[in-house]
Amino acid sequence: MILQPDEYRSRQLKYAPLEKVGDCALQQCGVFHSELRFVADTGNVIFRAEADNRAYGVRIYKEQFRTIPEIYGELNWLLDLQKHTNIIVPQPLSTASGQFVQEITAPSIEGPFQVVLFHWISGEIIGTNIEVETARQIGKLMAELHTHAAAFELPTDSFRDMTDWRGMGHFTANLTLTRLSRIEGFLNQEQLELCEEAAKRVAVIINEVDDQQNFGLIHSDLHTNNCLSHKGKISIIDFEDCQFAPFTCDIAITLSSFDNFPDQAILCKAFLQGYAERRELPQNFTEEVEAFMIERRLRLIRWVATWPSVEHFSFGWRIINNSLQSCQHYIESESSRSSWQ
């Protein structure tokens, strides 16, 4: 998600103290006299650091919501992708002792903070500047990710979640009282009932998904703001949400990200065509993808409930309204074919 100028400036000031944390982590990797610039905070806090004509990505975890073995699960996949594929993905940076995950305590800042460093990937975020051929190329890249993931096993000292994909079952399942209160504050009763009905319907389909095939690590957040274009090549960034799940779940997340584009159906078809050029589409993919697309939109509403307010990011209400509209359409025309088929 791209921040608006006012949003960016306020967050830049908010996270300025964390530059000390990033600088400490960089020094442990032999990078000195760096200049850090805030990039984003839609998940963790991301800085770009420059030193000696080189650039690095600095990811600082605001909260220790992942264990170190879980973080290594992502990093081990990235390292193996670099070794065995031609896909351009972030390259983790290690300390002199070989550590990829650091726990940093900086003076006058409450910590410690988990920090991961990457070599910066050149390129421009694709975002809304997407063409049909770009969607096709992204489909090819996802297929290549899945082909690698189907045969990849994480080292025993690392892991990623294997069960979250099975769905919520109920829209408000496992929400804290604070998040439930926020959802009830920005959704009315009719909208809550709509979300609950949609969650129940897709849960029936998701529970029948066969996890013995077309299953493995997935990016789990592959949209055009996580794709860079540089000299005719596309790279993929931000694997932080990766998890073990059916490949149809990954496909659905990308297809649903085209919701705001005027040529949505064309882009979806191009993406699927690109995927099919590299890897056969999973069996029953249409029904599963539709279910996972609704699940994704419901999860985005729940994600908004983790913010202090809907207006915390400028796109908050857009997420909610688009998600509600998709759920309504799914329930009203469940038996009809999707526009992208």
Task: Answer for the pair 124, 111: CB distance below 8 angstroms, yes or no.
Answer: no
H/E stretch holding 106: none
pTM over 0.75: yes
Listed in order, strand segments (DSSP E) in 227-271 are 227-230, 233-236, 243-246
- Which of 198, 143, 183, 221 is closest to 326 using CA atoms? 198
pLDDT digits (tens, 9 = 90+) for 46-60: 999 999 999 999 999
Output the pLDDT for position 338. 64
Q: Which residues contact 208 (CB under 8 A, 6 or more apart)?
A: none
Q: Tell me, what DSSP letter sits at residue 251?
A: H
Output the pLDDT for position 2. 65
> pLDDT under 50 in the chain at which residues?
336
Domain 132-332, CATH number (from 3.90.550.10, 3.90.1200.10, 1.20.120.1200, 3.30.460.10): 3.90.1200.10
Domains 5-120 and 132-332 alike in fold: no
Domain 5-120, CATH number (from 3.30.460.80, 2.40.50.840, 3.30.70.1170, 3.30.200.20): 3.30.200.20
- Domain ranges, ordered by start, for the chain: 5-120, 132-332
- Which of 122, 125, 104, 109 is closest to 40 using CA atoms? 125
Phi-psi region of 123 (alpha: psi -120 to 50; beta: other; left: phi over 0): left
Output the pLDDT for position 188. 98
Residue found under tokens 């990710």:
145
